[in-house]
A and B are shown apart, each in its own frame.
Chain A
Amino acid sequence: GAGVSQSPSNKVTEKGKDVELRCDPISGHTALYWYRQRLGQGLEFLIYFQGNSAPDKSGLPSDRFSAERTGESVSTLTIQRTQQEDSAVYLCASSFQRGGETQYFGPGTRLLVL
């Protein structure tokens, strides 16, 4: 497809379970971002990948959160031992170049932790 895709679109899980969220960026985009958006809130930066450089993990809220990206392609965000406060929409975005360029967002994964 031409845009950023994310899967699953919705995920319901039980407290304590691990979840894995996937993001397929636009082909050729070197930068990839993950954000968290709680209900009625703005975007909270989580992590940023730029090519083969070390990712900027400064936004990850705890060591239960981790993310990987293979080269300039797919990225996965993993949340271990989920908590109810992890419930949110997780948005992925990609951009052609690093920093300040237009970010193209996916539709998000809506995570509900019961």
Chain B
Amino acid sequence: TQLLEQSPQFLSIQEGENLTVYCNSSSVFSSLQWYRQEPGEGPVLLVTVVTGGEVKKLKRLTFQFGDARKDSSLHITAAQPGDTGLYLCAGADRTGGFKTIFGAGTRLFVKA
């Protein structure tokens, strides 16, 4: 059974601080995605990483895919209250079927 473990589960920080969220698995994924979900809404895709070692930047967000394609991290620089939400990582394995496995999420709260 493929599992994606996210840590920390909950994070409360002050505006301006940096943070890193981790997504780990013992399984190899063809690609890994990060979504952000705000209260009362469905998740929205932030980024997809495909290549081992890949780093993608989206403004103040930096995403990294592990060399072995088993783990990923999301780093936010100078967090803002608008970053508050649930961050979900999702892994896709095209060899064993086509459903996407979601982690349980990291709930981030950025205080002004």
- Give A residues with C-beta under 8 Å from B: 4, 31, 33, 35, 40-45, 48, 50, 56, 58-59, 91, 93, 98-100, 102-108
Q: Do residues A42 and B31 form an inter-chain contact, with CB atoms below 8 A?
A: no
Partner of A42, one of B30, B40, B105: B105
- Mark contacts of B47-86 with chain A using CB atoms, 8 A cut-off: 1 yes-contact digit, 0 otherwise: 0100000000000000000000000000000000000001
A91's closest neighbor in chain B, by CB? B42
- The answer to whether B11 has its CB under 8 Å from any CB of chain A is no
Expressed in whole angstroms, the Cα–Cα distance for A59 and B101 within the complex equals 11
Q: Do residues B105 and A41 form an inter-chain contact, with CB atoms below 8 A?
A: yes
Expressed in whole angstroms, the Cα–Cα distance for A35 and B45 within the complex equals 16
Q: Do residues A56 and B99 form an inter-chain contact, with CB atoms below 8 A?
A: yes
Expressed in whole angstroms, the Cα–Cα distance for A82 and B27 within the complex equals 35
21 contacts between A and B (CB under 8 A): A33-B100, A40-B107, A42-B86, A42-B102, A42-B105, A43-B88, A43-B90, A45-B99, A50-B98, A98-B98, A99-B30, A99-B94, A99-B100, A100-B31, A100-B94, A102-B33, A103-B43, A103-B90, A105-B41, A105-B42, A105-B43
A41-B105, A100-B31, A102-B48 as given contacts; A107 in contact with B42, CB under 8 Å:
yes
- What A residues does B98 contact at CB under 8 A? 31, 48, 50, 56, 98-100
- Give B residues with C-beta under 8 Å from A: 6, 30-31, 33, 40-45, 48, 86, 88, 90, 92-94, 97-105, 107
Closest Cβ–Cβ distance, residue B42 to chain A (whole Å): 3
Closest Cβ–Cβ distance, residue A80 to chain B (whole Å): 23
Expressed in whole angstroms, the Cα–Cα distance for A35 and B104 within the complex equals 12
Expressed in whole angstroms, the Cα–Cα distance for A40 and B100 within the complex equals 20
Expressed in whole angstroms, the Cα–Cα distance for A112 and B16 within the complex equals 38
Question: Nearest 5 pairs between A and B by C-beta?
Answer: A105-B42, A99-B98, A100-B92, A42-B104, A43-B102
Closest Cβ–Cβ distance, residue A54 to chain B (whole Å): 12
Q: Do residues B45 and A102 form an inter-chain contact, with CB atoms below 8 A?
A: yes
Expressed in whole angstroms, the Cα–Cα distance for A45 and B100 within the complex equals 8
Known A-B contacts: A4-B42, A103-B100, A107-B42. Give 11 more (CB < 8 A).
A43-B90, A44-B102, A45-B99, A45-B100, A48-B99, A50-B98, A59-B99, A91-B43, A99-B94, A100-B92, A102-B33
